[in-house]
Amino acid sequence: MEGIEHRVIKANGINMHVAEKGKGPVILFLHGFPELWYTWRHQITAFASLGYRALAPDLRGFGETEAPDDASTYTSLDVVGDLIALLDVVAADQDQVFVVGHDWGALIAWWLCMFRPDRVKALVNMSVAFNPRNPNMKPLEGLRALYGDDYYICRFQEPGVIEAEFREMGYERVLKGFFTYRDPLPLLIPKGKYFGQPDTPISLPSWFSEEDCKYYLSQYEKKGFTGALNYYRNINLNWQLTAPWTGSKIKVPVKFIVGDQDLTYNGPGIKDYLHKGGLKKNVPLLEQVVVMEGVAHFLQEENPDEVNKHIHDFFNKF
């Protein structure tokens, strides 16, 4: 963690915290849920030493970045607006940057490439594949029909409800539960019946230490989960706002990486979509789909060396 600099930038009307290290071509790292800039700690140090400038913001609502109260200000347009404004300040000398995304950060990276392909040199995205907009089905209704009301995204919808459950369970258990989740089946969180028995400790893997958990915990204890959950609460609004991009393709060079134990890789139809030309049709400049064996959702933390090599090998071409 030595040498990582932290600063707060005014971007798109909010104060945005960004961690950075290194000099050279910029790589913008975009985290997911319940992650923070810290998720990219292994990548920041590695790519700074390889001659890049690594930038990892806390996204709107997360960590030390401002969390607006209005839940409807966490849409794809707001968050991509934050990133463009951030790049205009911290990477003003570079017309285009490399981007790496994971989980919600991957979704945001797809949108960034869709809305502003002129700003992205190449993209490595992880876990969440590009899913073209279906004009005939609101996404939340589709998820509810497929997985039921206990599906985590459905359970996150009602403001205040899941926050109260998380508070009652304790943020430490919530964070450990998410980060250690390795079941490739859909994540269901029926009320009071998830992440094991409350009095049973959750054992941590070698790649996620008590010290790591303490950092995440310190940030979520300060801010709570509402800002992070607001991304899920805008799924249908994003669908509505992105109507003009129906049928749009991602037109930047892409490498996609996923773990074979990741629930996102084991959903209905996903493997066929990734391996039988579906993703390539929607992302014409897709160069490779990498499936990492024995790795679950948080692959950049679980197996950073292999992930870093995949990123470096791809960006090195440009």
> Within 13 Å and on the Cβ side, how many CA atoms surround 219?
25
Contacts of 166 (CB under 8 A, 6+ apart): 174, 225
pLDDT reported for residue 66: 98
Helix (H), strand (E) at residue 169: helix 161-169
Q: Closest by alpha carbon to 131, among 286, 287, 282, 288?
A: 282
pLDDT reported for residue 102: 98
pLDDT reported for residue 24: 97
In the numeric block, the tokens 């010290």 are attached to 211
In the numeric block, the tokens 């400049």 are attached to 285
Query: Buried b / exposed e across 302-316, counting CB within 10 Å, b at 16+?
Result: bbbebbbebbbebbe
Helix (H), strand (E) at residue 179: helix 171-179
pLDDT reported for residue 180: 95
Enter the pTM of the model: 0.97
pLDDT reported for residue 114: 98
Helix (H), strand (E) at residue 59: none
- C-beta neighbour count of 69 within 10 angstroms: 8
For the chain, the maximum distance between any two Cα atoms, rounded to a whole number of angstroms, is 53
- Dihedral-angle region of residue 24 (phi above 0 means left; psi in -120 to 50 means alpha; beta otherwise): left
Average pLDDT along the chain: 96
Residues 46-71: pLDDT tens digits? 999 999 999 999 999 999 999 999 99
Residues 173-222: pLDDT tens digits? 999 999 999 999 899 999 888 887 777 889 999 999 999 999 999 999 99
Helix (H), strand (E) at residue 258: strand 254-259
List the domains of the chain with CATH numbers.
Answer: 3-314 (3.40.50.1820)
Is the confidence at residue 44, as pLDDT, over 80? yes
Catalytic residues: 103, 232, 297
- Amino acid identity at 191: K
Report the sign of the C-alpha dihedral through residues 49, 35, 172, 298, in that order.
negative
pLDDT reported for residue 198: 74
Residues 258-309: pLDDT tens digits? 999 999 999 999 999 999 999 999 999 999 999 999 999 999 999 999 999 9
Return the percentage of the chain with pLDDT > 70, whole number.
100
- Geometric angle at alpha carbon 49, from 48 and 52, rounded to 5°: 40
Pair type for strands 14-21 and 53-57 = antiparallel
Tell me the three state secondary structure of residue 43.
helix
pLDDT reported for residue 227: 98
Is the confidence at residue 100, as pLDDT, over 80? yes
Is the confidence at residue 157, as pLDDT, over 80? yes
